[in-house]
Chain A
């Protein structure tokens, strides 16, 4: 266990003059100084736990880091033999589930002084890409195209099926827990009954292309978030890819109604930023926040029914992931440089 002193960081400069927030209780036009939590390896993921006490980050050294947000104390969690980009929590926040590129899912007693993996299963053939939790069930999706439902207590698989013909990038229980949603490398979203029956399938326009020069698929649903009412879903990724070799494309969020498959709106940054939207979160107050990395780092706030963003903020490093706290008051951004920054957004 190591302890890092919190580093106050300067406020990011807004791209536009400060303006009043249309969302009472939130200050979005200026990013307040946050706290920088520094790890020694580039980060690939971050998530707040449901209680807001902890932030979990994952890094290119195959490690997880538990940050106690009140003290910035770091505890390293070792157990995976590859990178981890799938993180989920039990509702009470006591258990962390991690899914790795080693195909493993591990569970951790998060509140222990030094958590160790208490369960470990080989979950997918290839990378575990995404995890979701509801009730006493854990759902996972991976590069084998499968969706797997497990008992959250012992990680025993209770049902699995071949869901996609390509990598499953996202999987989640619907907010009411009655359905399962999955999103894949080709930008397709599928809605399932919990017994594996397919209800609906639709394509998120713009989030995938087959690059004929590169001879490869590029894109996919790289992040997503449900609306406060549960019916909407904001899907994020890269679009307008003109050069898959170099990742020449633009970040994009597409808002859809997953209960009907209808596409509502595209949310595109006004500025021609080059990169991928690695994180998206739909705030309980109604606004959508997206974070992109590639040619630097950017954070945008949108109204979900308005194409032009409300505010844009340049970030100090290349973004790898972004998370919103359960109380919607803090944003965490994981950076390539090894830091995760926690920005308060409440007024």
Chain B
């Protein structure tokens, strides 16, 4: 792997980082980093993914059908964009519609939670021969500044353990996997161990660096660089731990976000994005409403609506929205048919997502479903189209390829083009 020794160029920096990921993964795949070496312009772009886990109902959010037999009990309300209506469960978000674009013609043709989630995170259907990296991992790999002290892919989620999800990065390597911020708490071990003073830690670090330098003088490889880099990033992140403390925010703003988990998690996401995180995913759970869909959507949307509207406004006020690609996605939508338990089941044939910010035309609406919401009748797209759209919105070339063992792997589905009408 000596050929990956950095010369300071972007190309070699990328290659080295890619190689480090593979090494850490212990992957058997030989990842040709040079093939990834498209010159990327680091423009301080960010991505915020809001993942509504379980499958949010498009009929109770972005594509209401009041009065239809499938419409349910909620009405549609006007928004800040003339002619665009959303569910009455989104009164605050409706007033931010001039900052959002809606994609109402999604057909991902996959009603399984895991497989649907995979499509929405990778832009591909699952294949036995290759696992594709999450968008977050790609952003961590391709957009993040090399010396960013924060992990490239942060996932703020309710519950769950700490640590990381290396598998998200697939062949990019675990370095680009998601780091979990469980319940909005800082990553584990971000504090010095009890009894270890900062001065003593600095002393230990200094000693380690000297030993590294001596070793690297004769055996400088990607492995040794990765070792050193990991320690350095950990120390940098420890120095940034205040970013994870939402209690530093003004009480009034925190109240606007909402004094519940999702509110705190979105406020944390904004702090992390503002602090330099290139990709933050916030999961809100749970929308898998086979039973009492309408009651549960009142509860869930009651948290989501005001919080998300506040988050958009906050990003805008801080001048971050125009450089932050925001997406509100789920595994799939929910059936137009209302089942015997007042529930809606999984429905991937006609559903919606919302986008905003970097590269997106504000206020745009693309795609259309029929009167009962059962099928897409205009501008049907799938997860591949969305993924290509994300690439274009971020200024990345969706036709680029990864190379694994010299095998070219298109970064996005070649059969799916970006949704041009919502791209700025």
In the complex, are the beta carbons of B341 and A82 less than 8 A apart? Answer: no
CB contacts (< 8 Å) of B73 on chain A: these are 60, 62, 82-83, 101, 127
Q: Could you tell me which residues of chain A, from 115 to 132, have a CB within 8 Å of some CB in chain B?
A: 126-127
Give the CA-CA distance A127 to B66 in the complex, in Å.
16
B289 cross-chain contacts in A, Cβ below 8 A: 245
Looking at A127, A216, A218, A294, which has the most chain B CB atoms within 10 Å of its CB? Answer: A216
B168 within 8 A of A: no
Number of A residues, CB within 8 Å of B: 30
Give the residue of B66, B300, B341 whose beta carbon is less than 8 angstroms from that of A216. B300
Cα of A86 to Cα of B42 in the assembled complex, Å: 59
Bound-complex Cα distance A167 to B66 (A): 23
Contact of B290 among A83, A216, A245, A318 (CB under 8 A): A245
Q: A294 contacts which chain B residues (CB < 8 A)?
A: 340-341
Q: Are B75 and A336 in touch, CB under 8 angstroms?
A: no
Most buried by B among A41, A167, A247, A275: A247
Given A215-B285, A245-B288, A246-B291, are A60 and B75 also a contact pair (CB < 8 Å)? Answer: no
Cβ of A214 and Cβ of B69 under 8 Å apart? no
Q: Which residues of B contact A101 (CB under 8 A)?
A: 73-74
CA distance A218 to B289 in the complex (A): 12
Type the 1/0 row for B245-281, where 1 means its CB is closer than 8 Å to any CB of A.
0000000000000000100000000000000000000
Task: A213 to B296: give the CA distance in the assembly, Å.
Answer: 13
Contacts of A42 in B (CB 8 A): 338
Q: Are A218 and B292 in contact (CB under 8 A)?
A: yes
CB-CB nearest in chain B for A274? B341
Q: Mark A22-62, 1 if CB is under 8 A from B, else 0.
A: 00000000000000000001100000000000000000111
Question: B89 to nearest A CB, angstroms?
Answer: 10
- For B286, the chain A residues whose CB sits under 8 A away are 213-216, 245
> Are B75's CB and A81's CB within 8 A?
yes
- Near B by CB (< 8 A), chain A positions 227-282 give 244-247, 275-276
Establish whether residues B340 and A216, one from each chain, have CB atoms under 8 Å apart when the complex forms: no
Would you call B299 an interface residue if the criterion is a C-beta within 8 Å of the partner chain's C-beta atoms? yes
Roughly how many angstroms separate A236 CA and B394 CA in the complex, as a whole number?
54
Q: Is A126 a contact of B298 with CB atoms below 8 Å?
A: yes
Question: B290, A62: Cβ atoms under 8 Å?
Answer: no
| Min CB gap B264→A, angstroms | 14
> Chain B 64-83 against A: per-residue CB contact (8 Å), 1 yes, 0 no?
00110100111100000000
B69 touches A293 (CB 8 A): no
> Are A217 and B299 CB-contacts (below 8 A) given A245-B289, A247-B291, A247-B292?
yes
Taking the closest CB of chain B, its distance from the CB of A58, in whole angstroms, is 11
Evaluate contact between A247 and B343: CB separation under 8 angstroms.
Answer: yes
The answer to whether B340 touches A318, judged by C-beta atoms less than 8 angstroms apart, is yes
Check if A82 sits within 8 Å of B74, measured CB to CB: yes
Tell me, yes or no, whether B158 is within 8 Å of chain A by CB.
yes
* Nearest A-chain residue to B303, judged by Cβ: A215
In the complex, B54 has a CB within 8 A of chain A: yes
Nearest B residue to A295 via CB reads B340
Q: How far is the CB of A295 from chain B (nearest CB, A)?
A: 8
The listed residue with most A CB atoms (<10 A of its CB), out of B54, B261, B291, B300, is: B291
Residues from chain A with a CB closer than 8 A to the CB of B75 are 81-82, 102
In the bound complex, residues from chain B placing their C-beta under 8 Å from that of A318 are 340
Contacts of A293 in B (CB 8 A): 340-341
Q: Does A65 contact B (CB under 8 A)?
A: no
Please, which residues of chain A bring their CB within 8 A of the CB of B54? 245
Whether a CB of chain B sits under 8 angstroms from the CB of A143 is yes
CA gap between A126 and B54 in the complex, in Å: 25
B343 CB contacts on chain A under 8 angstroms: 246-247
Binary interface encoding of chain A residues 286-301 relative to chain B, with 1 for a CB under 8 A from any of its CBs, else 0: 0000000110000000
| Interface contact B299-A216, CB-CB below 8 Å | yes
- 19 residue pairs of the A-B complex, CB under 8 angstroms, read A42-B338, A60-B69, A60-B73, A62-B67, A81-B66, A82-B75, A101-B73, A167-B295, A213-B286, A214-B296, A215-B158, A216-B300, A244-B292, A245-B54, A245-B288, A247-B341, A247-B343, A276-B341, A294-B341
What 14 new A-B contacts, CB under 8 Å, besides A101-B73, A215-B158, A215-B285? A42-B338, A60-B72, A60-B338, A62-B73, A82-B75, A101-B74, A127-B73, A214-B288, A215-B261, A216-B300, A245-B54, A245-B288, A247-B291, A293-B340
List residues of B whose CB falls within 8 A of some A CB.
54, 66-67, 69, 72-75, 158, 261, 285-286, 288-292, 295-296, 298-300, 338, 340-341, 343
